[in-house]
Structure 1
Amino acid sequence: MLITRVDHRLRLALILGSLSGFGPLTIDMYLPAMPGMADELRTSPSLVQLTLTVFVVGLAVGQVIVGPLSDSWGRRRPLLTGIVLYLIGSVWCAVAPTVEWLIAGRVVQSLGAAAGIVLARAIVRDLFQGTAMTRFFSTLMVVNGVAPILAPVLGGQLLRVTTWRAVFVVLAGIGLVLLLAVVFTLPETLPADNRARTDLRTFRTLVTDPSYLRYVLTAALMFAAVFAYISGSSFVLQDAYGLSAQQFSLVFGLNGLGIVLLGQLNGLLVGRVAAERTLLRISLTIATLGSAGVLAGATLGLPLLFLLVALFVVVSMLGMVLANATSLALDGHGGAAGAASSLQGLLQFLIGGLAASAMSLPGPVTATAMAVTMLICSAAALTVLLLRPVVPQPADE
């Protein structure tokens, strides 16, 4: 099925981009509220931090559940169920009387958000192929980049006039809008004739496909490099370099803007100037060099501006890497797009979480620890890409 009309493409991009942005939006928007949550609920900061941990775990687990189900049932029913769960979880969090209830609500909310993330990718695979799919994934980078820009700012502004509970009310409102948008404007994209039962053999096929694993691991490792920045930058830039909360928000927002810009540049270049694999190699090489720059800035005591430019380079490349790697990974698995998308999501959050945990094991996160983690992950992503599987390659390779 091909989407040709411009208005339909824009509406589809807005809906699917918003669904795929559920994760960063729901994480980043309530970060400024965490100290107030601990005070009002009379609990420890560590238990409030656990609400973030269980959400990330729920995102990973939920994708593995929903993705395969959508290959058998179609995309629409699991997606609508997921958004309803997200709504319930958001309201649950808004009225939670204790931190234990809040944690439970975050679990429900995360499972619903997972459906939006995994099925947005699967739906793109249903509708597009080849370079057209890559360009559409590049378009989704607009919303994916804008979410981390606006979320903490919106959350911070809400806290100036109300309490942290309003953050979850707003998230419930966003979920309701998306539910109505899906109900009235997004048809089923996987016809009944194309559905297939997903079982362990499906995942065995995926994990034994060297080409699929190559691109999925590349995306996951690059995501881990940026996740290390997301997890550690507030400590590094505010505690070590003395940035204020407002200055940090500006830096965070500019880096999110970089994801948007590079994602759009990728859409313009792919198929016209270079193929997906070429752009993927170039973007990963630049990201690795940028990570080396972050490490140099951290260890050599270079000016803060140098460190910020290097961070911008690394984070921006995520827009190109995810668009190209996701398209290449899913291109050969249209019959199991839900399962293929779910495994990609699981690996991204699993590897990203492990990288962030390893970074903080020695103690408080330092600029050097963050830089080393980013360099290891980005260099590993480039290495995985260059270790090409023994399969026939197109002429541009």
Structure 2
Amino acid sequence: MCSVAPFVLPGLACGAAPVLGVQPTTYAGGVPAAAWCGYGYDADISALLRGAVVRPSMPADLPMPSMEFLTLSRRHVDHGAGFRAMLHGIHSIHVPGRGLMASFPMDAHDDAAPTTPVAMLRAPRSYSDDAAEDDAAVTIKTPPPEKRPQQEQCGSEYDASIDATFRVMEKDPAERPSPDYLSDTQAGDMMMIDRATLIEKMHHFTRYYDLAPGTLHRAVSYVDRFLSARKMNGGERQLLLLGAAAVFAAAKYEDRKTTQRINADTVAAYVRCTRSEALDVERELVAALGYRLSGPTAYTFVDHFLRHAQDQEKEVSAAALVRALAHHLADMALLDYRCVALLPSAVAASAIVLARLVLGYYSTAPVAGYAIEELSECMEAIYDMHENLEAWPGCGPMMEDWELTTRLRYSLPHYSVLTR
């Protein structure tokens, strides 16, 4: 039989004498079992097993608190003293000295001004004799005003970091096309008109399937980089397949839902090739690019430079119109092979200058760190395309698309306005 029961049996008297002559169990040192937690487990269990009647517990057998605790007022001011007195009434708990408990204040805070509001409430009431007290106001600690502007400053810090990152990425040689790839890599087998014709078809492909904004710029960047690295063979059909695969890859980068609109079968049907041919060209394209597909484009920089335009223009609608026209002019700059040598940020800044000039917001102030004189080459190329719409493939369809989308027509002022 177990010498100690791990539970309290109902009806066993705490500290009671042995019942029916049963000898209580005695532990080492002569300490009776009844002295351990106040119960004689062996004696009472043996009595129960023989069918004997065990005397039920009496109120006098229960442990009572000390007189010091009973005489203590419930509204004693020192709550810590009342707590210590209650603990003294339980003999099995050792209460530390007053000095030790005082060294651990319950409402101390290391930070005088926490960032999270903290409510300092009065101690809970004891029973109903505190009802006469007036309700004290709750004090809320809030952060000091000097800590709040730090969160507002994060936007400008991120802004400068993003701009610096874009400027570094656009100058990375691994993501820049060769400015002379038509004469060097392609050895004269491909002309500027052939490239413009390909971009016109890529533009039609993106518009027909309503692909994500920025897809055309990224796809043209992929084509220029591919043609800078590898010689193109297979004629016009293979060049068209390259353009369609570039649009497909760029659209998937810009929008992960692209596959809900088009897939490899769509590309194959557009070029009139097999699905496996379309997939093979796409794999060859991304491999030639070194799987580096995230470089910023002129579309990226137009959005980046005009991100705060609504605070600078007179009306939000005017800022949106400047942005739309700048995107359109940047799209037209894609057709001109001379703009391949220019940085995307320079193309975007030139498009913004001309858009503001057309809409009456022209200023000679630098745009995105570029002086007007530094943008002359790109602006001259854009002017040249507007003056020779019939000679440049793609210029006419792009102009028609702009007029159909915005229901607006525009004309560039004379170039002498920029040279004043």
Q: Which has the higher helix share?
A: 1
Q: TM-score, structure 2 length as denominator? A: 0.28
Structure with larger Rg: 2
Higher relative contact order (CA 8 A, sep 6+): 1
Q: TM-score, structure 1 length as denominator? A: 0.29
